[in-house]
Structures are given as structure tokens and as C-alpha cells.
Structure 1
Amino acid sequence: MSTPATPPTKRRQQIVQTYRMAKKTDRRIGLYTLGAFVLGALLGFAVIWFLPGDGPISLALSIVGALLFGLLAAIIVFGRRAQAAAFGQMEGQKGAAASALQMLRRGWKTDPVVGFNKQQDIVHRVVGPPGIVLVGEGHPQRVKALLATERRKHERVLPETPIHEVVCGRGEGEVPLNKLVKHVTKLGRNLKGADMTDVLNRLKAIDAHRPPVPMPKGPMPTNMKGMRGQQRGR
């Protein structure tokens, strides 16, 4: 019986998996990451080297500073390019918005596919500080009608809770996939912790009458949470 992988091992596996996935669409991700490390290391070495002091201690501190600055720069560049590559691969696929919304931090709850129609237009729901955010994917006109239907359902149960509608896409008035998380987090702060708990409890009345809906099948990156951690350098 094999022993569970240690956290550092899991972390390395996650980085390798992310790199391989990003490499499919970003051939230069390794080159840019290496370049960021070198430039960061040079900057870190120079900054500490020119501080007051000399001798072996100054040299040792400069080397440590170079490694730390270089690693930080590499993590930032790798995280951003990996995330951009993931969004590029997901663009246009059903359920891509739900995968992107998984990058939201604690204090948010994402429910994929709370609404759908025969044409496979879908609506996801996010509950967080702004209130309820309904995110639609699909044909612009059909998805707007689907969003309106879902809004009415939610207003019957939560008439005083702010409800926001967002269409994910590249059309006029739509939010691109790579900007979706940022857009959602900037919708304001209307709910506090206790309010959000009450909203989630009351939403169970709606969800209890929904048939189970599987996420659309297809090749989709599933490591978005891992990329979020890498981009933040953790």
C-alpha cells in the first residue's frame, strides 16, 4: 500500500501539470519564466550588494537576495502566463465560466448550471459579498432570457437581496472569460457573513426543485485553483 504524497510532492506535481497544460498553447512559458528568474536575481543581487557592508557576509546575503528575488519574479510570470494559457484553452467551451469562477477566494460559493435550456445555454450562480451573481453562457439573446427567468425565481425567495446578471463572452456588453473573476469581485459589498449564510439557506428552497444537471462534457482545464495559488506565490 503506497503512502500518501507529502504536500511538497503534491505541490511539485501540480506545478508540472500546470506547466504541461500551459505549454500546449504558450510555447515560450519556460523561456519567459527563466528570463524572469535571471532578471529578478540580478536585481536582487544588486540591491543587497550595494547596501552598506562588505566581505563574505555581504556576498552571502546578496546571493540569498538574488535567489529570493529571482524565485518571486519567476512565480509571478509563470502564474500569469499559465493562467492566460488556461483561459485561452477554455475560451468558447461550455462550462468555462464555472471553471473560471472556481478561482474566487473564500467567502464565495459557486453553483454551476443552476439554469439551462434545450439549446445548452447555461446559467451559473455565485453567492458572495455583492449578493447573488447569475452568470450566463451561450447565445446572447437566449441566455439573457434564461437569466431573466432565473432572476425571477431568485427574487421570489430573496426579494431584498441584490441580484446581478453577467453574460460571459466576447460580444458587446459581455464580460470576457479572462476578466470574469475580476468583474464579479468588483460588483460591490452588500452581504456580510451572517447575511450570506441566510441567503444560502433560503436558496435551498430553489435548488430542491431543480433536476440534477451534469456539467457539459469536453476537454477543460481543471487546475484553476492551483493556478490561483501559484499566481499569488503560495
Structure 2
Amino acid sequence: MTALLEVRGISVSFDGFRAINNLSFEIGERELRAIIGPNGAGKTTFMDIVTGKTRPDDGQVLWGEQSRSLLRMNESQIARAGIGRKFQRPTVFEDQTVAENLTMALSAPRGPFSVLRWRPSSESDRRVVELAAEVGLADQLSRKSGELSHGQKQWLEIGMLLAQDPRLLLVDEPAAGMTLAEREQTTTLLRRLAEKHAVVVVEHDMEFVRRLECRVTVLHEGAVLAEGSLDHVTANPEVIEVYLGRG
């Protein structure tokens, strides 16, 4: 497996607390990966580092076939390089329709004058229809986003990320707050997206992770505690002790 994203020995501390501790692992091209672990394990900090929000004290974060350093890029450059992040709470423009949200998210020239001159075209309209269909919102294009269910808003935000043509999607707790039917549809969506993109899912819901049928990385105290199939990691005595045995 060729690594699309490689994290090498990264560490970062906040006010004396080591949130990430010599963390190393790889994400492959078109791979679906779940990251689990107790609160404070470093899951969010890992995503913050990859997307440029937080700078590590040590280590390297390498991207793509040329192993470019993400640590030399700012947040917008990292996004343009092909990394998209979806936070737990969906952030869509609720007064705009689904079609308008997707149109605004389309990858297009971002210079100040280019933005002012840009207008939707038949090509952009076609792409919006494709994106809506890809995330299960083909029949919701004219609906205001604020009227959507929680799960539908999550799918719309994923569609908005897809509009930027990412190679890697970081998805934070997608199952939270969803109905059973929405969770099942989200599982199907994420597995399908991994056929074309690398998808990293941070999740607490073990049943949701099991349905993803993917490789699992367990973080604890900012480092990899175990890695493998869900059955493999959940049989690990250390994982049971620090994570599964709680609550």
C-alpha cells in the first residue's frame, strides 16, 4: 500500500500536557480507516495537525507521492492540496438551498477578482446535481438547508467537501445524533467514498465502526496503542483496559 498521508514521530504539548506523543502511522490511497480511543487520546489534535490548525513540536507530516511536508503549508494551502475535514457539528448555510450550498463549495478560482466574476454555468449546475446524488440528496436540491434533518445536513457537508475534489476526507463522529436509518446510509456513503478517496473516520460508536469493515487505529495518550481489524484491536488487553472497559 502506497502511503497518501504519513505521520512520522509527531509530538505536541499544551501547557505541559503532551497531547500527541511520538505518533506515527500511515493512511493509504483510497483507504477507509477508523480512529478510536478514549477522550484525550489525541484524535482531534491529530486532525488539527494534519489540517494545519496546530503545529507539532517535533516530527513530520508527509503528503502525496512526492512526500510534501504539510508542516510547510498553511490551512488554506493544505485544503487546496486535497485534504478536507468535516467537523462533528455540520456547518452549512441554513438559509441557502442545498443546491446553493453545493454551488458555493465548488472548486473554482479563489482570487478576489475571480470570485467577483464567477457565475454558475451549465457545467457547475451538472456537478451540483452529481454531488447531491452522491450524498443522497438528489431530491432535496431546492430545499433550504435549515429544513434538513441532522443526518441530511451531515451528508450535505460531505458533499460540500467533495466539491473541492479532496484526496483525503477527515470525518469527525459522523454517526452522532443520527437515526438508525441515517447511520446505515452514512455507512454505505463512507464505504463508497473510499473507492475514490482516502477516508479517515474518528468515531466512538463501536457498532458503527464495525459496519465500516475497515482497519482500525486505537489511540491512547497521543500514541498508537493498537491497529488492525476491529475484532483484533478489541481483543487487545490494553485496549480493553484503557478504553473498552470504561463505562
TM-score where L is the length of structure 1: 0.28
Which structure is larger by alpha-carbon Rg, 1 or 2? 1
TM-score where L is the length of structure 2: 0.27
Point out the structure with the larger strand share: 2
Point out the structure with the larger helix share: 1
